[in-house]
Chains A and B, each alone.
Chain A
Amino acid sequence: MKHLLSIAQLSQAEIEAILDRAESFAEVGRRDIKKVPTLRGRTVATLFYEASTRTSSSFELAAKRLSADLVSVKAAGSSVDKGESLKDTVATLSAYEPAVIVIRHPHAGAAQLVADWSDAAVVNAGDGKHEHPSQALLDVYTLRRQMGALEGKRIWIVGDVLHSRVARSNLIAFREMGAEITVCGPPALIPRGLEQLGCAVTHSLDDLGEADVVYALRLQRERMRESFVPSLREYATHFQIDGRRLGPRQLLMHPGPVNRGVELSAEVIDSPQSLIAEQVASGLVVRMAILYELLAAGDEGSAPASGDDASRPTPIGQPA
C-alpha cells in the first residue's frame, strides 16, 4: 500500500490484513511499555485544515506509539491563514522529508493532490464529503471484534448521508466485507443516485428492526437553514435513534461527535449496545496499523539491512 486515499482501493483481504495488524497493536497496548520502535527515525506530518478531535489525536498518538517523529500543522494559525495554497504548503512540509503525510481537508480530492505533489505516503484523514477511509477501517475493526465476520449482516446507516464522508467510506467498506446496507434519512439528505452504489434507500425507520447494526450520522444544526429538514424537532421525531426504536440485540455506532437529543437519544448513547467508546479506542490501533502498512509492512521478512541504517523500521514486538 503506497497511500491510503480511498477505502475503495482496498480489497476484503487487504482490509483484513490491516485489521489483523491492528489486533497485534492492541496486544502491545496491554503492555506496560506501549511504545514500539518500528518507525524510529521516520517523520509523520499531520496537516489538518478542519477541526478534528478523534482523528488528529489518534493519528498523532499512533505515530508516537510507533516512535516516529511528529510534525502537526493546523490550518488555523499557520501560513494557510495567510493564503498559502495547498500545493505550496505541501512543498514546505516536504522539506522535512516526511515519510507520511496525514491530511484532513474540507474539499474532495485534496489527499490525492498531496500524493501527486509529494514523495511521502499519504493518508486521507477526511477530504470534504468524499471519503474517510481510516474511519471505515476502525468501524469494520470494531464490528469484527463484536460480531465476527460481517458477511450477510444487515447494517443501517441513518441520517445526513449527503454531507457525510463517513457514510460514503463505510458504505463501501461494509459492502466489501459482505454486509447488506440500507441507507435511511430525509429525502433531501440522501444523494440522488445513491442506490446505484449498491444499497437500499428508505426514508422511514419502520423496518429498522431488521438491522444487526445501526450506524447513526451526525446532523449538523445548520442544515435547517438550507431547508434540508424543517426543524430539529421534526428530524428527531422521524429519524432519532432512541430506546423505543433500538432493539436489545442491535448494535449502535456513531462516528462522533454526537448531537445528544438529535440523531441519538441519551439513553442509547449510554446503553450497553453502544459501541461509540469502542470506536474511539479502535481508532488508535487501526491508525497504528495503517502507518505500519504504509511504512514497514514491505520490509517484513526481508534480510536485515547491512550497516547501521537507523531509518530502517524495526519489526513489531521488539522493545524500544
Chain B
Amino acid sequence: MSAAQLDMRPGETPDVVLRGASVLDPAAGIEGQHDVVVREGRIAELASPGSAALDGAEEVDAAGLHAFPAFFDPHVHLRVPGQEHKEDIETGTRSAAAGGFCGVIAMANTEPPVSAPADIDSLREAARAAASVKVGFLATVSEGMRGEELTEMAALREAGALGFSDDGLPIRGTRLLRRALQYQRLCGGTIALHEEDPELSGSGVMHEGPVSALLGLDGIPSISESTMIARDAALAGYENARIHVQHLSAVESVEAVRAAKAAGVQITCEATPHHLCVTDEEVRSLDPSRFKMNPPLRSEADRQALIEGLRDGTIDCVATDHAPHAAQEKEVPFEEAAMGVTGLETAFAAVHTDLVLPGTIELSLFVERLGGGAEPFGVQRPSLAPGSEANVALCDLAAEWTVGEDGYESRSSNSWCAGRTLTGRVLMTIAGGQIAYRLRSFSMGVAA
C-alpha cells in the first residue's frame, strides 16, 4: 500500500510548552504529569513538570488539564462538492479541530460523488487551501455510487484516494463488491462499507422495535445491517481483502464482526458516539434534527453490545459519521427529514459525560479508540511520543458547557447533543504542528 496522503492548509507551527499537563497516550504507553514541549511542529520532549525551558516558545498553563494525542475521525461528511450549503472543507475541519481532531477522512457521497481522479485532485487542492486539520479523501467503489461498475480504483489511488466507500448506500451486488475486493490486491486502499440490506430497510426511518411500533414509523430491523456484515465478511475472507465496517449499530452486528475477526478476516469497524450514548427512546421526541440518522439509534441492548465491543476490541475506533444538514432539511416531519447528525464538536465530551464519568469505560480506553480510526486506512496513529508530529488535544475534563449555546463551528446545527450540558471540553487542538483551534475564552500564556 502506498503511503497515506492527507492534506491541510500550510501554516505556522509555533513552539509551545503545555506546562504541567496530565498526559495520556495509552497506545504509546504514556501516562503522567509532564511539560509537553512542541518545537518545529513535533513533540520535542515530555519534560518533568515545570522543568522545560521556554526558549521563545509560548507557554500554556496546563495544570489540571489533560493532553491527549489529538483524535482521528475516519468517517465525516464535508459535503464538497455540491452541498456547500451544509458544510465545506473550511467549516468541517474547523468543526473537527474544535472537537480535538487532528485528522478526518471525508466520505465520497457528494454531488456528484467522488468517482474520478480529477475529483480527488481538486479536493486535495481545496484541503491545502482551507483545511485546518488533515483531511484524507475516499473515492467511491462504484462509478457515481450507482452500484453497477467499478471506479478506476488504481488511478484514484494514484491521485491520493485513501480508500474506497459508497457510504450512504450499501453495495447491493455481491459480484461488484467481490470485484472491488479482488482489485484491492492491485491498488490497495481499504474498502469501507455502509452495511444495510435495502430490501430489509425498505422505507424505514428508525430502529424497528417497540418505539417504532408506538410511533407508527417504519422500522429498520437490526438484521438489515448484520446480514450484510456477515455476507461481506465472508467475501473479504474468501478474497483475503481488507474491509472496514462503518457505524455499527446492533448487537447482531457486533457479533458478526467478532466472529469474522475470530475467523481471521481482515476486518475493522467503528461505532459512533450517538450509538454508544443514546437509544431509540430518544425518537419519542420525533425530533429529526437530533435523532434521525442511518443506521438508526437502536435499543439499550444494542447500545450495551456496542460498549462491550468497544471494550473488548471488536470495535476498533470511535467515528462520528458527522453528517451536517441545513435547517430546512430537518425542520420537517420526522419521516421527511434528511438522515444524519453532526458530531465532531461533541464526540469527546458526549462519550466522556455518558460513559467515562459514570465509570462505564475507562478514559484511557476511550482515548485509544479515538485514535483507532487511522491505522485501518494506512494512516499513522496520532501520538505524543517524542519525535512524533505534534497532534495534541488539550482538554479540561471538569468544564461544563451547553452544546449549541455559543453556536457551532460547523455550518449546520443538527447536533444530536444540541441543548445538552456536557462535562469535558476541548480547549485547544494542535494538528500537524499548527494551532488548529483554541477556545475563545482560553487565553494563551504570555510568551517569555
Contact = CB atoms under 8 A, between A and B. Distances in A.
B210 A108 contact: no
Given A85-B328, A105-B333, A131 B216 contact: yes
B210 A165 contact: no
Contacts of A287: none
Given A108-B335, A110-B333, A194 B215 contact: no
B209 interface: yes
Contacts of A193: 208-213
Among B217, B331, B332, B333, find the residue whose CB has the most chain A CB atoms closer than 10 A.
B333
B336 interface: yes
A131 B211 CA distance: 13
Contact of A87 (B211, B216, B331): B331
Interface of B: 208-217, 219, 221, 286, 328, 331-336
Interface in A207-248: none
A105 B336 CA distance: 12
Contacts of A165: 216
Contact of B213 (A86, A108, A197): A197
A129 interface: yes
Interface string A95-118: 000000000010111101100000
A112 B286 contact: yes
Interface string A117-157: 00000000001111100000000000000000000000000
A40 B328 CA distance: 37
B217 A196 contact: no
**Helix, strand, loop or mixed for chain A's interface?**
mixed
Contact of B214 (A105, A128, A164, A168): A168
B82 to A, nearest CB: 21
The 9 closest A-B pairs by CB, nearest first: A129-B216, A109-B286, A107-B333, A193-B210, A191-B213, A196-B210, A130-B216, A107-B335, A194-B213
Contacts of A113: 331-333
Contacts of A196: 210, 213
Given A108-B334, A108-B335, A128-B335, A192 B213 contact: yes
Contact of B215 (A85, A108, A164): A108
A86 B337 CA distance: 12
Interface centre among A87, A108, A127, A130 (most CB of B within 10 A): A108
Contact of A108 (B219, B331, B333): B333
Nearest to B217: A108
A192 B208 contact: yes
Interface in A160-179: 164-165, 168
B252 to A, nearest CB: 14
Contacts of A108: 215-217, 286, 333-335
Contact of A107 (B210, B213, B336): B336
Contacts of B219: 191-192
A128 B216 CA distance: 7
B365 to A, nearest CB: 32
A267 to B, nearest CB: 32
Contacts of B328: 85
17 contacts: A85-B328, A86-B332, A105-B333, A107-B335, A107-B336, A108-B216, A108-B217, A108-B335, A109-B333, A128-B217, A129-B216, A130-B216, A131-B216, A192-B219, A193-B212, A194-B210, A196-B210
B333 A128 contact: yes
Given A108-B286, A191-B219, A197 B333 contact: no
Nearest to A161: B213
Given A86-B332, A108-B215, A192-B208, 4 more contacts: A107-B335, A108-B217, A108-B334, A109-B334
Contacts of A109: 286, 333-334
Residue among B208, B216, B219 with the highest chain A CB neighbour number at 10 A: B216
B413 to A, nearest CB: 16
B35 to A, nearest CB: 51
A289 to B, nearest CB: 25
A87 B333 CA distance: 10
A40 to B, nearest CB: 34
B212 A191 contact: yes
Contacts of B211: 193
Nearest to A113: B333
Interface in A70-105: 85-87, 105
Interface in A20-63: none
Contacts of B336: 107
